[in-house]
Chain A
Amino acid sequence: MARLEEIPYGNPFIFEDSSFTLPDFGERHVDTLVSGATLMVGGQTTGVRVFVNVTDPGASGVVVADVDLQKERTAAGPVRENAPLTANVTDVTSQSVVLIAAESPKIVLSRGGVVYVCHSVESGSLEGASPVSPFEELDQRQGNEQKIRNLIAYVRSSLDIPYREQLADRLKFLLEVTKEEAPEELEQFPESLRNFVVFLRTAPLLKYPDVVVSPSGNIRTQWQAALNKHFAAEFLPTDQAAFVVFSPYQKGTKRVSGIVPISELLEAVEPQNVLSWASE
């Protein structure tokens, strides 16, 4: 299954300006980490318990960090190379709890950064949080825009696909259009975009798709070679994709649709031979 943390909202060079909020972190498990992103267990959060680990494959030994979640950002010291790090935090009451995480500790360490991996968020609740004011909503939108920009920067600089520049330009265009014409659609955009990027990492041989934004604010992509060679997928903010495939069948067209976890999308459409015409 695609994991929340596989794709960063930021990169090691801009991570201090990026953040995301776990929408339902009471149930989410973040087993590895976010490359250079800032993880915000935010709002008026209470009773959150966060485990922080560094996942260096060659790590050994245990070091417990002094993570101060009462501050806006963690103040833990630098991670020791080849040493996993664990911190248990309880009774979080601050407005903004931030952990800095990175997928590739060595890279970040080489730049003198502080690296943590959010291993799991065990429990938490947003119950009792105040209603969002218009100003907070504006802040949220600006936050969403920054997340999208960070993801686009990641696509442009790091995604291992041949059309990354073209895709980044397209995503930037869609961001600008959505901001201008339907800013409310930006709400789901970052999660959906991240899931799309997660998918592309599993399918680097797919051709450059048509990319649009659905009325729900999700990234929707399509690959079409003919009317009966058509594959479209809408990347939901829930680590799932809703898809439809039209494929040749006897003298007609077979139409298949469904919703699957992102990690199973290719598997779901492969019986229709999608890759035979949608990939390079």
Chain B
Amino acid sequence: MKGDFVPDTDHVSRYCSRSRLTEEGKVTAAAFQLKEHEQSISVNWLEFLSQPNRQAEIAEVRKVLTSNRITLRRTGRIAVLNVGETRNHVYSATHPDSKDLHILHDPLPNDSSHSGIFGVMMDDQLIPELIVQTVKEIHPALD
């Protein structure tokens, strides 16, 4: 349901375009920066997709993104985060301010698993760097 917290044990994925990747294909913090007018960083809640394994979840994410007119490129990447690890890392690394990220379910008409990472500010440099440190897996954007 919209506004639900994505559980700390669950995972979210983020599509990273080629211009946010290094020449070696590593995801950079630019992939977790906000665009102007965005309130949150768009992600997909993987467990919400009810697939048997990670490969199937990623395949489903590819379908959803494509159906939302996002043109996936062979050299693009899909990065996977564990919600709890990301939140805890950002929280502890920003001590004493202790920034608390909220990762909330934010379904869209054609994307029921769509969620958002809330708490990143426009032009923020530090939080995206901390988020990218917690990327657990990187998958090709196209199979």
Where the two chains meet, the residues of A that have a C-beta atom closer than 8 Å to any C-beta of B are 170, 174, 177-178, 181-182, 185, 210, 212-216, 220, 222, 227, 230, 232, 234, 242-244, 246, 253, 255, 257
28 contacts between A and B (CB under 8 A): A177-B17, A178-B19, A181-B18, A181-B73, A182-B17, A185-B19, A210-B22, A210-B23, A210-B28, A212-B21, A215-B20, A215-B30, A215-B36, A216-B35, A216-B36, A220-B28, A220-B30, A222-B28, A222-B29, A227-B133, A230-B129, A232-B129, A234-B123, A244-B29, A244-B125, A253-B93, A255-B93, A257-B125
Chain B at the A interface: SS class: loop
Which residues of chain B are near A174, meaning CB under 8 Å? Answer: 19
Which residues of chain B are near A244, meaning CB under 8 Å? Answer: 29, 125-126, 129
Where the two chains meet, the residues of B that have a C-beta atom closer than 8 Å to any C-beta of A are 17-23, 26, 28-30, 33-36, 38, 71, 73, 93-94, 123, 125-126, 129, 133
Which residues of chain A are near B19, meaning CB under 8 Å? Answer: 174, 177-178, 181-182, 185, 212-213
Which residues of chain B are near A232, meaning CB under 8 Å? Answer: 28-29, 125, 129
CA distance A215 to B15 in the complex (A): 13
Residue from A178, A227, A243 within 8 A of B125 (CB atoms): A243
Distance in angstroms from B66 CB to nearest chain A CB is: 14
Which residues of chain A are near B126, meaning CB under 8 Å? Answer: 244, 255, 257
Let me know if B22 and A215 touch, CB within 8 A. Answer: no
CA distance A185 to B33 in the complex (A): 14
Let me know if B17 and A181 touch, CB within 8 A. Answer: yes
Which residues of chain B are near A212, meaning CB under 8 Å? Answer: 19-22, 28, 30
Let me know if A215 and B129 touch, CB within 8 A. Answer: no
Let me know if B33 and A215 touch, CB within 8 A. Answer: yes
CA distance A242 to B29 in the complex (A): 13
Let me know if A214 and B30 touch, CB within 8 A. Answer: yes
Residue from A177, A216, A230 within 8 A of B18 (CB atoms): A177
